[in-house]
């Protein structure tokens, strides 16, 4: 878990020498029109550096999930731009967007989204099978071993605990060596002990495997595993915290009204 925290600060841009896994440039997202118009994102600009673990927090309706979905190519912006690597997502058609999500992006959701008829290994390699990509067996073995499931590769999801199923979901997200992994409350359905184990592994994936992770969470303890926390309110980034602790995150989120 991350250590001591400095006071929250406003976000800063990365230097030219740092590799960016993703970024948003004046991102705007508007739902509805007229009297029902909702501004979910109001000109958000943020960089996600390669090899960094970022948590996104904020009150309900602050835009945190919208930002993640637009950054991941699951939803399109109304204005501004989102980039995966150097690719502007608005320039892609639906087929190209599907391809970049499959090849460059990993996803971890609160619900595990495993295929019940497939065993662990088959679930982990499913994105590569669907994409017709060559499977790096050694890498898949390493990922499955790292999540502690090497002795259960032939088991199906209904033979696993909730925590084990989420380990499979995390392994699946990492198996394609994506540029970036997005997590939407990835430990929200798990008990505290299992959550800690999953978050420890995600922390290891960043530190030792060089993975980039962006995670939406409402929980200060979960957020404290990250390298930094972005706080959203009313569709804008209002605070950034480096090296968060549960207490420092809790104090900040409480002041935002969550």
- For residue range 149-202, list pLDDT tens digits in order: 999 999 999 999 888 898 899 889 888 888 999 999 888 878 888 888 889 888
C-alpha of 77 from chain center: 18
Burial (CB count <10 Å: 0-12, 13-18, 19+), residue 6: exposed
43 lies in some domain: no
Domain count, the chain: 1
144 lies in some domain: yes
10 lies in some domain: no
Q: Tell me if 243 sits within 8 A of 18, measured CB to CB.
A: no
Say what the pTM is. Answer: 0.84
* Rounded Cα distance, 206 and 2, in Å: 13
* Rounded Cα distance, 189 and 13, in Å: 34
The predicted model gives 233-248 an average pLDDT of 95
84 lies in some domain: no
What is the domain-level CATH number for residue 221? Answer: 3.40.50.300
What's the N-to-C CA distance of the chain in angstroms? Answer: 23
82 lies in some domain: no
User: Radius of gyration (Cα) for the chain, nearest Å?
Assistant: 18
136 lies in some domain: yes
Evaluate if residue 16 carries a pLDDT over 60: no
Residues 6+ apart with CB under 8 A from 117: 156
Evaluate if residue 97 carries a pLDDT over 50: yes
* Rounded Cα distance, 200 and 1, in Å: 8
Please name the residue ranges forming H helices in the chain: 64-71, 94-104, 120-131, 137-146, 162-175, 192-207, 220-223, 246-256
The percentage of residues in the chain with a pLDDT greater than 90, rounded to a whole number, is 56
Grade residue 84 by pLDDT with cuts at 50, 70 and 90. Answer: very high
Dig out the tokens for 248 from the structure: 């420092």
Domain range for residue 120? 52-76+92-256
């Amino acid at each position: 878990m991350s250590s001591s925290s400095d006071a929250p600060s406003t976000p800063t841009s990365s230097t030219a020498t740092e590799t960016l896994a993703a970024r948003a440039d004046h991102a705007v997202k508007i739902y509805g029109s007229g009297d029902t118009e909702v501004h979910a994102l109001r000109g958000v600009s943020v960089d996600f550096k390669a090899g960094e673990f970022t948590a996104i927090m904020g009150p309900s309706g602050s835009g945190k999930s919208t930002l993640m979905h637009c950054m991941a190519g699951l939803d399109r912006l109304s204005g501004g731009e989102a980039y995966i690597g150097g690719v502007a997502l608005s320039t892609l058609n639906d087929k190209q967007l599907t391809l970049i999500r499959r090849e460059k992006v990993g996803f971890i959701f609160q619900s595990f989204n495993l295929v019940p008829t497939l065993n662990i290994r088959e679930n982990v390699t499913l994105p590569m099978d669907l994409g017709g990509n060559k499977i790096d067996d050694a890498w898949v073995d390493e990922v499955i071993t790292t999540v502690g499931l090497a002795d259960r590769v032939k088991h199906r999801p209904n033979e696993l605990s909730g925590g084990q199923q989420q380990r499979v979901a995390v392994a699946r997200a990492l198996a394609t060596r994506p540029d970036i992994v997005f997590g939407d409350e990835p430990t929200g359905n798990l008990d505290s002990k299992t959550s800690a184990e999953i978050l420890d592994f995600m922390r290891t994936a960043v530190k030792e495997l060089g993975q980039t992770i962006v995670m939406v969470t409402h929980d200060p303890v979960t957020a404290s595993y990250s390298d930094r926390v972005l706080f959203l309110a009313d569709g804008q980034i209002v605070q950034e915290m480096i090296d968060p602790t549960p207490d420092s995150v809790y104090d900040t989120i409480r002041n935002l009204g969550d």
